[in-house]
Structure 1
């Protein structure tokens, strides 16, 4: 994924990001917070399995 996409501010703030247990997520979230693309108050929530339900 391109860095410009991550550096683009999101239109609405949110408080929690749910992800799976991939070890790369904490580092990525820390980097986004460091460059200001993500609010410092955002919490990272890692779960064993992330199930995404899609409505078709």
Structure 2
């Protein structure tokens, strides 16, 4: 996984956590759900990159 991808995924995860927290604090369920979605998207991207890394190491 490239460093840029790692940084981008971590940024997306942190932004999702911030949205979720702000949504909880303000009672905005839509923003809270969007935060969850962003975190899940980041996790899926990380998993995909880890699979790519595993195949590269096996070569």
State the TM-score bracket (shorter-chain normalisation): 0.3 to 0.5
Bigger radius of gyration: 2
Scaled by the length of structure 1, the TM-score of the pair is: 0.32
Higher relative contact order (CA 8 A, sep 6+): 1
Scaled by the length of structure 2, the TM-score of the pair is: 0.31
Higher strand share: 1
Higher helix share: 2
